[in-house]
Amino acid sequence: MSKQIPFRYDFVGSFLRPANLKAAREGFENGKISADELKAVEDKEIERLINKQKELGYHVITDGEFRRATWHLDFMWGFDGVAHEKTKTGLPFHGEDAMIDDTYLCGKVGLSKVHPFVEHFKFVKHFEDENTVAKQTIPAPAQFIEQMIMPFALENTSKYYDSTHKLAEDIANGYKKVIADLYDAGCRNLQLDDCSWGMLVDPRAEELFGTDKKGLKDIQELLVEINNLAIEDKPNDMTITTHVCRGNFHSTYASAGAYDSVAEVLFEKENVDAYYLEFDDERSGGFEPLAHVNGDKKVVLGLITTKSPKMENKADVIARIKEAQKYISLDRLCLSPQCGFASCEINLQKKNSGQNCSLLKKLQKKFGDNIKE
């Protein structure tokens, strides 16, 4: 089963948080319920979600990221040398600020204990069967280092590191431990979520990173270097994929731009097994950059949107798959939503995730080895 990862019809990982789970987390933060009581609610809702994933015929199961506040920052908080606090300004998205915790260095990055996400994975692993494989999603190492080298963070980061490459080395070493511990816990399906490339393709990239075109190229090389360094020791029977998008919060976005400017580095140099790519609207550009996806690496086309309650037309999706075939063979293509349904516990605008996943299941019947209709 793990040899088939990613699956022909797949999903990114996160789902809308149920109201009772959000209430329980608020109760815990306000001291009204204990950590054990919160975990009991999380366990119940995760089991309910997994049962729904199986009911819909999926071969991958996740916890929906129900134990997290955000898709990426909670993971960073599990490392030594990382601190966080309630934000006063938030992160800018299109038309709205994401009020998620400010996260920054408070010392050298390391991992002196087993990361909490390993225990999270073990719970999902318990529900695997002959038809399903548990997937663990974590932010990519590139996302971690980007958080610490953006202009708003650089002054603080320089208190602890005078070399970006030394920071990259420490982060990568922490990831190696997480990956080894996840493998020992039975994980064979690991997804690295990565919005850093989405920031680099944005027309405002030079302003966002405080550099020029050459500086952006150097950042591309740094990002692929840290990602490859972190996964260089991965076992042969562990599939590592990456999900690349442009931010997804309350159905809005952080950046825009086609993959063209990063395709050579991202698709030719990154040593992952597959790419989950955002292609649900014009902000993502065309399929031409897929010609750079080398070797036998696969691409999961994110053609189904989680941003809108309107359901896609099957014929339109099939036509777009055929268009992508001009640049990469059909046997290397899969299908999924462009992103998760909830990048953080502040849910996206409403879209029926059950309907969305059902559409994917229907499409896979036409999305076999021959799309001829």
Q: pLDDT by residue (tens digit) across 11-65?
A: 998 898 899 999 999 999 999 999 999 999 999 999 999 999 999 999 999 999 9
Q: Residue 116: inside a domain, yes or no?
A: yes
pLDDT number for residue 61: 98
Instruction: Between 124 and 102, name the one with better pLDDT.
Output: 124
When pLDDT is averaged across residues 288-307 and rounded to a whole number, the result is: 95
pLDDT number for residue 248: 53
pLDDT number for residue 282: 80
Query: Are 199 and 149 contacting, i.e. CB atoms less than 8 angstroms apart?
Result: no
- Please give, one letter per residue, the 3-state secondary structure of 21-47: HHHHHHHHHCCCCCHHHHHHHHHHHHH
Banded model confidence at residue 9, pLDDT cuts 50, 70, 90: very high
When divided into structural domains, the chain yields a total of: 1
| DSSP letter for each residue of 272-286 | -SEEEEE-SSGGG--
Q: Residue 182: inside a domain, yes or no?
A: yes
| DSSP letter for each residue of 290-340 | GGG--TT-EEEEEEE-SS-SSPPPHHHHHHHHHHHTTTS-GGGEEEEESS-
Residue 178 neighbours by CB under 8 Å, 6+ apart = 111, 115, 117, 118, 138
Q: Residue 371: inside a domain, yes or no?
A: no
347 φψ region: left (φ > 0), alpha (ψ -120 to 50), beta (else): beta
Token digits of residue 155: 């002054």
pLDDT number for residue 88: 60
Query: Tell me, what CATH number does 339's domain have?
Result: 3.20.20.210
Q: pLDDT by residue (tens digit) across 115-130?
A: 999 999 999 999 999 9
Token digits of residue 211: 């550099």
Question: The domain containing residue 181 runs over which residues?
Answer: 2-366
Which is nearest to 124 in space by CA: 26, 25, 54? 54
Task: Identify the weakest region by mean pLDDT among 93-97, 140-144, 205-209.
Answer: 93-97
Which is nearest to 149 in space by CA: 130, 131, 167? 167
pLDDT number for residue 368: 44
Q: Residue 35: inside a domain, yes or no?
A: yes
Q: Residue 157: inside a domain, yes or no?
A: yes
Residue 163 neighbours by CB under 8 Å, 6+ apart = none
When pLDDT is averaged across residues 129-147 and rounded to a whole number, the result is: 96
Q: pLDDT by residue (tens digit) across 244-290?
A: 987 554 444 445 678 999 999 999 999 999 999 999 888 789 999 99
When pLDDT is averaged across residues 318-330 and rounded to a whole number, the result is: 97
Per-residue b/e over 273-303, b at no fewer than 16 CB within 10 Å? bbbbbbbbeebbbebebbebbeeebbbbbbb
| Res. 89: pLDDT tops 70 | no
Q: Residue 373: inside a domain, yes or no?
A: no
Banded model confidence at residue 2, pLDDT cuts 50, 70, 90: low
Q: pLDDT by residue (tens digit) across 177-231?
A: 999 999 999 999 999 999 999 889 988 889 989 999 999 999 999 999 999 999 9
pLDDT number for residue 256: 66
Instruction: Between 221 and 152, name the one with better pLDDT.
Output: 221
Q: Residue 313: inside a domain, yes or no?
A: yes
Banded model confidence at residue 338, pLDDT cuts 50, 70, 90: confident
Query: Are 60 and 133 contacting, i.e. CB atoms less than 8 angstroms apart?
Result: yes
Token digits of residue 298: 């696969």
Residue with tokens 């719970």: 123
Instruction: Compute the CA torsion angle 181, 74, 14, 178 (nearest 10 deg).
Output: -10
- The terminus-to-terminus CA distance of the chain in angstroms comes to 29
Q: Residue 85: inside a domain, yes or no?
A: yes
Q: pLDDT by residue (tens digit) across 349-365?
A: 444 455 555 555 555 54
Which is nearest to 338 in space by CA: 372, 373, 307, 370? 307
